[in-house]
């Protein structure tokens, strides 16, 4: 029975070990490139927007100064029923309206940008969501890195910290930082490439023009990043560039997490194992690591599964009189993950998550249980704005 329990725990130990390795290696900053005041490459910032009348003016105002002399701005108003397009035009940027209710989604908006930019053919295309901001230094660094390397680039994508936010929102923002800063660093060091996270990503024109963007998949960015990696143009992390987004309220945060985690878990099941096998077949360590990374679930789900597996294994060991070493291995993995999460909080997370909110971490999992139950029953793909 000891062997049975060890086999039962093996997947949990493997996935948690990947998480531990990424986080441990991603704690330290990467070497920063020398920042320049400008870049020789032409660029266009594409802003896909769906019913963003409340935020689009502020977003475009925040983009105009950083982009001055560096990039043009193109807004794709996608199936909007509000004043998004009119407001964007008043700001003075180029706007394209797209009305295809049966083909709604960010991917379709980006595919429309492919067509619109065929005559301009900028060196670099930058994608910024309609609720995000980027400073000039970050934009220059991103465009320069993509132009120099000929590879897609991804900024550090973070939510603006706020210790006065509801505790559950703070925990979610901390998990977002751990994924998009710490684990992305670790992935860059281990695999030589990172995930595209949708906003703050940039592609050379030659890659953007040919990319399969026309999809309604909520995690189209992650899928695209994997496809580009397999094709030999893996995305690179541009750590000196940061894109900020405003956090949602509690209800909006839960809605956003449901959409994103549902899409991610489906994608992980579909592409994780095949990517691992392809990495082994091609002898490509980077691709192997990318496949293993796809098997790591979101933070709270990872910890919940680990604890459930630990409890089940302990109960089986007690009831069947098996050896305890598999349980101790799983316990060590859970304890190590807990210690590393606390270390991330101490080094990077205090501005995102107060000590008081940190203590609510177990309740955050309970808060998300109904979400996971809904995900078992159906999909959450639509490009819907969560309340901010």
- Same domain assignment for residues 23 and 54: no
- Same domain assignment for residues 309 and 233: no
pLDDT at 39 over 90: no
Q: Confidence band (pLDDT; 50, 70, 90) for 357?
A: very high
Q: Could you tell me the sign of the dihedral formed by the alpha carbons of 235, 239, 244, 245, in that order?
A: positive
- Same domain assignment for residues 237 and 275: no
CA dist 56 and 53 (Å) reads 6
Q: What are the structure tokens assigned to 95, written together?
A: 């706007």
Domain membership flag for residue 368: yes
Domain membership flag for residue 358: yes
Residue 179 belongs to domain with CATH number: 3.90.550.10
* Residues 24, 224, 199, 92, Cα dihedral to 10°: 160
- Same domain assignment for residues 121 and 210: yes
Instruction: List the domain range (segments joined by +) for residue 161.
Output: 43-248
Domain membership flag for residue 7: yes
- Same domain assignment for residues 230 and 275: no
pLDDT at 382 over 90: no
Domain membership flag for residue 266: no
- Same domain assignment for residues 321 and 190: no
Q: Which range is least confidently modeled, 22-26, 243-247, 333-337, 343-347?
A: 243-247
- Same domain assignment for residues 90 and 178: yes
- Same domain assignment for residues 168 and 305: no
Bridge-partner residues for 97, per DSSP?
77
Residues 6+ apart with CB under 8 A from 48: 76, 78, 106, 109, 110, 113, 127, 129, 130
- Same domain assignment for residues 244 and 295: no
C-alpha distance from residue 79 to each of 50, 86, 102, 259 (Å): 6, 13, 10, 19
What is the per-residue pLDDT across 268-297, written as a single tens digit (0 to 9) for each?
889 999 999 999 999 999 999 999 999 999
Among 197, 214, 248, the domain-final residue is: 248
Domain membership flag for residue 38: no
CA dist 170 and 221 (Å) reads 24
The mean pLDDT of 120-147, rounded to a whole number, is: 96
Domain membership flag for residue 210: yes
- Same domain assignment for residues 144 and 206: yes
pLDDT at 381 over 60: no
- Same domain assignment for residues 220 and 349: no
Q: Confidence band (pLDDT; 50, 70, 90) for 388?
A: very low
- Same domain assignment for residues 223 and 343: no
Domain membership flag for residue 194: yes
Number of domains in the chain: 2
The mean pLDDT of 332-354, rounded to a whole number, is: 96
Q: What is the pLDDT of residue 386?
A: 47
Residues 6+ apart with CB under 8 A from 108: 78, 98, 100, 213, 214, 215, 216
What is the per-residue pLDDT across 221-254, written as a single tens digit (0 to 9) for each?
898 999 999 999 999 999 999 999 988 777 777 7
Q: What is the pLDDT of residue 286?
A: 94
pLDDT at 36 over 70: yes
Q: What is the pLDDT of residue 367?
A: 76
Q: Confidence band (pLDDT; 50, 70, 90) for 35?
A: low
DSSP 347-358: IIITTTS-HHHH
Domain membership flag for residue 326: yes
Classify residue 166 as exposed, middle or buried by CB count within 10 Å of its CB (0-12, 13-18, 19+).
middle
Among 186, 213, 248, the domain-final residue is: 248
């Amino acid at each position: 029975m000891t062997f049975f329990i060890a086999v039962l725990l093996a997947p949990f130990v493997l996935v948690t070990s990947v998480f531990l390795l990424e986080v441990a290696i991603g704690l330290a900053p990467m070497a920063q490139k020398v920042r320049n005041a400008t870049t020789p490459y032409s660029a266009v910032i594409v802003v896909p927007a769906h019913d963003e009348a409340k935020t689009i003016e502020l977003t475009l105002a925040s983009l105009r100064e950083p982009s001055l002399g560096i990039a043009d701005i193109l807004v794709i108003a996608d199936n909007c029923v509000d004043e998004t397009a009119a407001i964007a035009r008043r700001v003075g940027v180029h706007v394209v309206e797209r009305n295809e209710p049966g083909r709604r989604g960010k991917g379709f908006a980006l595919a429309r940008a492919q067509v619109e930019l065929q005559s301009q053919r900028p060196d670099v295309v930058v994608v910024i969501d309609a609720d995000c901001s980027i400073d000039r230094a970050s934009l220059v660094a991103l465009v320069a890195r993509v132009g120099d390397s000929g590879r897609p680039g991804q900024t550090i994508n973070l939510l603006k910290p706020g210790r006065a936010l509801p505790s559950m929102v703070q925990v979610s923002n901390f998990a977002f930082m751990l994924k998009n800063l710490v684990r992305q660093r670790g992935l860059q060091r281990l695999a030589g490439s990172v995930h595209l996270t949708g906003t703050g990503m940039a592609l050379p024109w030659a890659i953007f023009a040919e990319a399969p963007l026309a999809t309604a998949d909520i995690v189209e960015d992650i899928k695209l990043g994997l496809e580009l990696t397999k094709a030999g143009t893996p995305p690179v992390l541009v750590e000196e560039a940061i894109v900020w987004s405003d956090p949602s309220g509690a209800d909006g945060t839960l809605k956003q997490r449901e959409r994103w985690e549902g899409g991610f878990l489906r994608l992980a099941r579909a592409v994780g194992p095949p990517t691992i096998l392809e990495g082994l077949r091609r002898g490509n360590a980077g691709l192997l690591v990318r496949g293993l990374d796809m098997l790591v679930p979101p933070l709270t789900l990872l910890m919940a599964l680990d604890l459930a597996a630990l409890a089940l294994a302990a109960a089986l060991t007690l009831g069947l009189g098996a050896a305890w070493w598999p349980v101790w291995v799983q316990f060590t993995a859970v304890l190590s993950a807990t210690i590393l999460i606390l270390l991330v909080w101490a080094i990077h997370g205090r501005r995102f998550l107060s000590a008081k909110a940190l203590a609510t971490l177990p309740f955050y999992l309970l808060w998300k249980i109904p979400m996971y139950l809904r995900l078992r029953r159906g999909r959450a793909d639509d490009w819907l704005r969560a309340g901010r």
